[in-house]
Homo-oligomer: A and B are copies of this chain.
Amino acid sequence: SDWNIETRDGILQLEKVYTFKNYRNALAFTNRVGEVAEAEGHHPALLTEWGKVTVTWWSHKLKGLHRNDFIMAARTDEVLSV
């Protein structure tokens, strides 16, 4: 796991950068993570760039990290291994 805990605007967030060989593959990953997010009703920030996607999880209502964010981080990793 290469998840980092970052603080942004005073809010703890769980963040990881996934790398890909091009834009298309990055966008495909964004979509798959987006599907998991929709299914779970918990939505990350997904920054799609050429060859990489930065996924950021946090609990909006709590303005911080909850156990569920760590579960979602693990599920995000699983998306790649499926």
- Interface on A for B, CB 8 Å cutoff? 23-24, 27, 30-31, 34, 37-38, 43, 45-50, 60
What are the 4 closest A-B residue pairs judged by CB atoms, nearest first? A46-B48, A43-B50, A27-B34, A47-B47
Q: Contact at A24–B48, with CB atoms within 8 Å?
A: no
Nearest B residue to A52 via CB reads B45
Q: Contact at B23–A37, with CB atoms within 8 Å?
A: yes
Q: Contact at A27–B31, with CB atoms within 8 Å?
A: yes
Q: Contact at A46–B43, with CB atoms within 8 Å?
A: no
Interfacial chain B residues near A27, Cβ < 8 Å: 30-31, 34
Interfacial chain B residues near A46, Cβ < 8 Å: 30, 47-49
User: In whole angstroms, what is the CA distance A55 to B50 when docked?
Assistant: 13
User: In whole angstroms, what is the CA distance A38 to B43 when docked?
Assistant: 25
